Structure 1
Amino acid sequence: MSAPSPVCPPGLGRPLVVTADVRLLDELLRMCAVANVEPEIVPQPQLACEGWVVSPLVVVGADLADGVASFGLPRRKDVVLVSADLDDADVWRRAVVVGADHVVFLPDAEAWLTDRFADLADGTGAAALGIAVVGARGGAGASTLACALAVTAARGGGTAALVDADPFGGGIDILLGGEAEPGLRWPDLAGARGRVDGGALSAALPRLHGLTVLSWDRGPGPGVPQEATRAIVSALRRRHDLTVVDIPRRPDPAAEEAFGQCVLGLVVIPAELRAVAAAVHVAEWLRPVVADLRAVVRGPSPSRLPADEIAANAGLPLAGELRPEPGLTEAVEEGAVPGGRKGPLSRFCREFLAAEAAAVAAERGWAA
């Protein structure tokens, strides 16, 4: 594949609701109405087979869980077993046989489940890919890589957002030549709480080179609270196929919150001894936040160490190697868009995003 595919196939945004319990169904339909999503309702276990693989979210009532399990349907993610009986000790056995990754009880979990339905109405839902990028040291090229990944995804036909989580980085919109572009910046959103409408947020942010961009301004304004970061990054992830977050190297609660919204973290390590040592500390900080943390080695190494050995010395699996690109820094300074010209950076981004999209599709049983 020469370009990344959206990680959620179009037209498959309807959740599958499997229950014959009238009272439970009424509650689920009310939540769907609040979330503005139309479910596919299946009152018999055998009717669940067709939509089981393709639906982005499957909600199975405890009343039909055993019946659904009897058909030997393939294991998949995003299966929720729902019950209204807190005293039902057998619900956990049913969760195992049906392959549920969440068990919820109503009415206690109403807000959580409504949010899951609303994720689908917002667009990409829970399947959207979030990638956080951080440098092992200053000047590692993390912001450039973050820009290039988002630009590549947008040019490949997906919807992409780029989030600058470093209030002292000078504003990532400068790398895209959009510092004067109208639209909201982080200080405008510091009061965000709870659930934010992803569509309204995206419409209020600058659009640069096909991207939705959330950056810092050049003012001395206060930082953004952790709760606001959670609300804003979550809203962008629900709205876009790919959200890329540029993370600062120093520990910061808001940065950790943004990092935790992502499913994958990339540590950019220049192929030098000090950078490898620094990457160890960065990885120690971030590994508890995101389980899938990998190294991108920017080579070549003066000591000719292979990229996989450099990554191993940092305690990280290798995501790939960025080969030298003469003239890249000068071109960006003169207004070139990272990832917008032919070269190792653009090639790395295309291949990496295509591989990630294929992996997500295979994991979820979708055609890549």
Structure 2
Amino acid sequence: MATAQPLVVSGEGTVFEEIRRVAAVVGCEFDHAPDLAAARGRWTRAPLVVLDEDIAVDSPPMPARDSVVLVCKGAPDLDTWRRAAALGARRVFSLPDDEAGLTGAFADVTDAPAESPGPVIAFVGGRGGSGASVLAAAVAVEAARTGSALLVDCDPLGGGLDLPLGLEHTKGLRWPEVRVSGRVSVPSLIASLPSRGNLPVLSCGRSGDGPTPRALSAVVAAGSRAGRTVVCDLPRHFSEGTLAVASAADLVVLVVPVEFRACMAAKQVLNHLRPHTERFAVVASGHRADGISASQTAGMLGPPLIADVSPERRVAITLESGEFDLPPKGALATAARAVLANLRPLPTAQAA
């Protein structure tokens, strides 16, 4: 049986064109009735009813139902609210000022939230070259093997996460081509992105600006709302967007090479992020240096150590060729699974 569509009750005027444009933004198809008499047979079946105020003038009684909204041009007056109340509309949207509200109403139908939101994991390097981007990609690949995920590149100066995944020649949108804010339709977004198997990747391009803070927040929120595991690769420069993602993340993973200087650099990163979240964990990376261990690395920083990634020659070779081979029993895949397993409340990071 086909899923019922929203019902728009409106004449062929300016308001109808505005409603149609807003619905198109989130990829929402709808049924159209020119007046309430024509709408009566579909009134109770539609998941959402959108009324043009002009249609609501001298309206006949309609069956009581939820999810009715009324759309008007200009600021609603007392008569507008009376018409809304008579037809059971609990929300009134004035276009174009309340476009975001109407967009959200359509998106609630086309993009119904999952039973539970998906986790958001953010990765940031303790210093440059720590392997945070590679680990973020590995975690997204692992998450997509057993569920649904979304990999989001938040670093406009990182060269693009599509490169290590071999997607640089795959058609699809990148930042800054994705320009969204407010409510985002996940099916429409996913369909527009390049994918590695069933893993959609929103990468930064090789030119132009990166994501705006509003666009970044909207995409991350949409992916989580749809129940996907959202994996974000953060830059080490702390823009408004970076801090917003860190604040929203269920876990911020600090990837730190096992060396003293890297620990000192990672402390600075941690200090910048700590006012925005306390949900941290450490992954140690690289060869041992300076006579310190992975556990000592985490001990100098405070957050718990959840994985230790040793270099893998096979992975390094495939990264250069854009194949990103992830052996299931390798150190990188093992660390990725450890990160996913730790998506539960972690001990609060202590200042170190």
Q: TM-score surpassing 0.5?
A: yes
Of residues 172, 175, 188 in structure 2, which corresponds to 1:186?
175
Aligned CA distance change for structure 1 residues 334 and 222 (closer, same or farther; 3 Å) = closer
Is there any run of 5+ residues in structure 1 with no aligned partner, and where?
Answer: 1-29, 36-105, 361-368
Partner of 2:238: 251
Partner of 2:83: none
Cα deviation per residue 1:55-102 (whole Å; 9 max; x = unaligned)?
xxxxxxxxxxxxxxxxxxxxxxxxxxxxxxxxxxxxxxxxxxxxxxxx
Asked if the contact 2:117/2:224 (under 8 Å) is kept, the reply is: no
Aligned CA distance change for structure 1 residues 126 and 120 (closer, same or farther; 3 Å) = farther
Q: Which moved more, 1:279-288 or 1:307-316?
A: 307-316
SS at match of 1:134: strand
Letter aligned with residue 271 of structure 1: V
Alignment RMSD: 2.9
Partner of 1:274: 261
Partner of 1:295: 282
Looking at structure 2, the residues matched to 292 and 119 of structure 1 have their Cα atoms a distance apart, in angstroms, of 33
* Higher Rg of the two aligned structures: 2
Looking at structure 1, the residues matched to 215 and 115 of structure 2 have their Cα atoms a distance apart, in angstroms, of 20
Letter aligned with residue 169 of structure 2: A
| Residue correspondences, number | 250
Residue 161 of structure 2 corresponds to residue 172 of structure 1: yes
CA shift at 1:316, angstroms? 2.2
Asked if the contact 2:160/2:206 (under 8 Å) is kept, the reply is: yes
Letter aligned with residue 160 of structure 1: A
CA shift at 1:143, angstroms? 0.6
Looking at structure 1, the residues matched to 290 and 186 of structure 2 have their Cα atoms a distance apart, in angstroms, of 47
Asked if the contact 1:298/1:323 (under 8 Å) is kept, the reply is: yes
CA shift at 1:259, angstroms? 2.6
Cα deviation per residue 1:278-334 (whole Å; 9 max; x = unaligned)?
000101111222321111111443244332221121232212211332343222112
Aligned CA distance change for structure 1 residues 209 and 121 (closer, same or farther; 3 Å) = closer
Asked if the contact 1:175/1:338 (under 8 Å) is kept, the reply is: no
Of residues 144, 155, 161 in structure 2, which corresponds to 1:154?
144
Letter aligned with residue 146 of structure 1: A
Letter aligned with residue 165 of structure 1: C
User: Which structure is richer in relative contact order (CA contacts within 8 A, separation 6 or more)?
Assistant: 1
CA shift at 1:340, angstroms? 4.7
Aligned CA distance change for structure 1 residues 340 and 199 (closer, same or farther; 3 Å) = farther
After TM superposition, the structure 1 = structure 2 runs for residues 1-368 of structure 1, keeping only pairs within 5 Å, are 33-34=47-48, 118=108, 122-124=112-114, 126-155=116-145, 157-190=146-179, 192-219=180-207, 221-337=208-324, 339-340=326-327, 342-356=329-343, 359=344
Q: Percent identity?
A: 36
Looking at structure 1, the residues matched to 115 and 262 of structure 2 have their Cα atoms a distance apart, in angstroms, of 36
Is there any run of 5+ residues in structure 2 with no aligned partner, and where?
Answer: 1-43, 50-89, 92-100, 346-352
Looking at structure 2, the residues matched to 306 and 119 of structure 1 have their Cα atoms a distance apart, in angstroms, of 52
CA shift at 1:355, angstroms? 4.5
